[in-house]
Structure 1
Amino acid sequence: MSERTTCLVAGGGPAGMVLGLLLARAGVEVTVLEKHADFLRDFRGDTVHPSTLQLLDELGLGERFAKLPQSRLETVSLPGPPALTIADFRQLKVPHPYVAMVPQWDLLDLLAEAGQAEPDFHLRMNTEVTELVRERGRVAGVRYTTADGHRGEIRADLVVGCDGRWSAVRRGAGLRPREFPVPIDTWWFRLPREAGENPALMPEMHHGQFAVLIPREDYFQIAYLAPKGFDARLRAEGVDAFRERVRTVVPALAGKVDAIESMDDVKHLDVRLNLLPRWHREGVLCIGDAAHAMSPIGGVGINLAVQDAVATARLLAEPLRRGRVTGRELARVRRRRLVPTLVVQAIQRVMHRAVIRPVIEGRREGAPKSLVRLMNALPAARRVPAYVIGVGLLPEHAPNWARR
């Protein structure tokens, strides 16, 4: 037997949870399916940007969010000599001029708790979308499997794929992204951090090595960047060789590398940069990474996904209450969010080509001299990357009916 909901959201990440909460506050029955048993996974994007912090305030969740364990990033710098600050969030005229570093599971738990206070919000963990249900030429729901092997079906007026860069919804809808060339992959790991040690986000570039240090409360979350396809070589070299690479690129932390006990502590991310030419079919829509996978450069993927969710709720709440969403109405989401996505992806491609690739190929150390000259001559220019990273070109705000 089939169950029934108005909007079925596949994926309980930031985009899916924000969309579910907003639609429920609009009086739309929404069911969010998350394939895992909980939100506890390492090295997910843990950045909460100024525009998302303002959104949480608008939703009445700001005070509860402020109580979560977190650290704050106020600047983004490149190493010297001389060290160069390329983004200063303190220059932004926003309520929260910083990026909050919060374990993503804490943010998702907060959103889930807020959603469960709404009678139209339903969250089902351990439930994975396996295929789409079609009826009379349109998507009419999903089939799912639970962790204990139960199979079922949920009919819905709209299915929204918020299930990431390997989206089952996108695949089932026959939507194929355009892939952009990416020269790098990322390997995530952590090293201990003392209180107050290196409070800024700091890329490190030495001897053909590139890493980014993200300060957390009691550890550094570190991204090691190397050429795409390098994972097999790193693992064949073994943990001792990897520790030596870390000593080379982050000499200040050389005494801490023994915290990497094995290569199992080093998580590989296959970096993708892509974009769906079309985000919808009749009855189905993709947003966030399912519509546009982002490079980790700038940590903007979560912010864009959340903005997609807000725009989707604002544009589609009324059609969903009406009982049918047309393809024309679904297309409005892409039109609304396309330009900010294209601009950010263009900037990321330039950063890959002009900053990262020359370093990992051993052709340059440090930031491009032209960038150093510009930032030193025009300190106010640091506001521009801070705004693009922290706020975005088209920040979305909570509709009045969702505010508390």
Structure 2
Amino acid sequence: MTDANIGKMIVAGAGPVGLTLALMLRRAGIDVTVVEKRATVNLQSKASTFHASTIDLLETCDVLDSMLAKGTRVDSVQYRAPDGVVLAQLDFDLLKDRVRNPFRMHYEQGELTTLMRDLFVKEGGDLRFNAGVSGGEQDDAGVTVTTEDGQTIRAGALFGCDGAQSFVREAVRIGYVEKPYPGMVLRLYAQTDMRQIFPGLGGIAYLHLRDETCSLLEMPDCWRIVVRVPAGVSETEAMTDEWVVDRLRNLLSIEKLMPSVSGRDVYSARSRRAFAASAGRVYLAGDALHLTNTKGGMNLNAGLHDAFAYSLAAVESFACGDTAPLDRAAWERERVARCILLPRTSENAGTGSERVKRIASITTSPEGAREFLAKQAMLDMLGGVSPELVGTGAVHV
């Protein structure tokens, strides 16, 4: 970077990843502009899981109290048989020596997006709506971006946080490899307290029946019930009351008390990985870099890890006047996605009694349970993130 551009950066996409990155850049004294194609922030995304590694990072942004006020704290994870028998229960407190916040949180993605937007604007950040990236070019001194509303912005780097259909990724010709998962996923929003059906139910539970699985997540205003829709069943059929009732009776082994469902949606699941996380002065993060299946709730967390890694690297680049720290961070985040994130989320998508038996066997010892939880909390996916941001030595940025 040259001195003229070193203190200016552009973030494409006003989602949770882009706004978190922008907030940290702003607080570090770097001039940052966020450009978003929509007229406002997107509140439709339904990601809801925040793991201990990410919670520790977000705590350094001074947002944890606000998140806890509107989220559900989950202190253990359960694996159950459909008849309610607990096959394994793991307490996140086993991670207390490795993280400051040994729990999982269920909190709406849209709430985090709104929170980060408000903080960024309060810090004097430049946030532009109806201004998606429509073109641009880069040279040895920086990047020049044009937006849909006709503006031209010059900066030292561009971060593509503009989602799965990233214009930025396509513009710099970074390809990707994609793998669809068979069938679809049905997500139900139940007003019934699922503990009436399963006494002692934890805030997150996975029920396994032969080669099928069902996830139960406690949210502040409902329980989410997530089930796989087999290949051959249409989206229209999966949304009908008849199919839902039959599916729940089969997976949950319940007859008398059916959950009261206030809403439902169906979506496809796939994994995707960009072949690179950077091209020159353009860097990818979040869904633009990686997509995973939703079981285990890891993709948004990985995107937030991307944001923290880039923000720390940007501060180094600001100090040394060179893009090398950002380039190293991009290499590391692509490695994490390729070598750890996608393989683990594919493993999490596995079903069947044999998988549950393996989990139960691994977790019979405290050390085995601790290592299993550490991986589920993504403590080994923090590549590029300063280690003192997670654990006992909090450093505010």
Q: 1:392 aligns with which of 361, 379, 391?
A: 379
Equivalent residue number for residue 109 of structure 1:
114
Letter in 2 for 1:350: E
Instruction: Classify 1:40/1:230 alpha carbon distance in 2 versus 1 (closer, same or farther; 3 Å).
Output: farther
Does the residue aligned with 1:108 lie in a helix, a strand or coil? helix
> How does the TM-score come out when normalised to structure 1?
0.81
| Aligned: 1:333 with 2:329 | yes
Instruction: Classify 1:87/1:401 alpha carbon distance in 2 versus 1 (closer, same or farther; 3 Å).
Output: closer
Written as runs of structure 1 = structure 2, the 5 A alignment for 1:274-285 is: 274-285=272-283
Query: Unaligned stretches of 5+ in structure 1?
Result: 360-364
Equivalent residue number for residue 369 of structure 1:
357
Equivalent residue number for residue 267 of structure 2:
269
Instruction: Classify 1:165/1:254 alpha carbon distance in 2 versus 1 (closer, same or farther; 3 Å).
Output: farther
Instruction: Classify 1:117/1:128 alpha carbon distance in 2 versus 1 (closer, same or farther; 3 Å).
Output: same
Written as runs of structure 1 = structure 2, the 5 A alignment for 1:182-201 is: 182-183=181-182, 185-194=184-193, 198-201=201-204
Q: 2:342 aligns with which of 334, 341, 345?
A: 345
**CA–CA distance in structure 2, aligned partners of residues 251 and 218 of structure 1:** 24
Written as runs of structure 1 = structure 2, the 5 A alignment for 1:290-305 is: 290-305=288-303
Letter in 2 for 1:158: A
Aligned residues: 376
- TM-superposed CA distance for 1:23, in Å, is 0.7
Instruction: Classify 1:123/1:86 alpha carbon distance in 2 versus 1 (closer, same or farther; 3 Å).
Output: farther
Written as runs of structure 1 = structure 2, the 5 A alignment for 1:45-124 is: 45-66=47-68, 68-80=69-81, 82-85=85-88, 87-93=90-96, 94-119=99-124, 121-124=125-128
- Does the 8 A contact of 1:340 with 1:392 survive in 2? no
The percentage of aligned residue pairs carrying the same residue is 22
Equivalent residue number for residue 207 of structure 2:
204
- TM-superposed CA distance for 1:108, in Å, is 2.0
Equivalent residue number for residue 176 of structure 1:
175
- TM-superposed CA distance for 1:216, in Å, is 0.8
- Cα offsets for 1:81-109 (capped at 9, x unmatched): 74223643121122211111112222222
- Does the 8 A contact of 1:78 with 1:366 survive in 2? no
Backbone CA RMSD of aligned residues? 3.2
Instruction: Classify 1:369/1:103 alpha carbon distance in 2 versus 1 (closer, same or farther; 3 Å).
Output: closer
| Aligned: 1:241 with 2:242 | yes
> How does the TM-score come out when normalised to structure 2?
0.82
- Does the 8 A contact of 1:293 with 1:301 survive in 2? yes
Equivalent residue number for residue 362 of structure 1:
none
**CA–CA distance in structure 1, aligned partners of residues 77 and 274 of structure 2:** 30
Letter in 1 for 2:360: V
Written as runs of structure 1 = structure 2, the 5 A alignment for 1:129-168 is: 129=133, 131-136=134-139, 140-145=143-148, 150-168=149-167
Equivalent residue number for residue 12 of structure 1:
14
**CA–CA distance in structure 2, aligned partners of residues 88 and 177 of structure 1:** 37
Does the residue aligned with 1:164 lie in a helix, a strand or coil? coil
Relative to its length, the structure with more helix (as a share) is 1
**CA–CA distance in structure 2, aligned partners of residues 389 and 288 of structure 1:** 18
- Does the 8 A contact of 1:190 with 1:219 survive in 2? yes
**CA–CA distance in structure 2, aligned partners of residues 127 and 251 of structure 1:** 50
Report the more deviating stretch, 109-118 or 24-33: 109-118
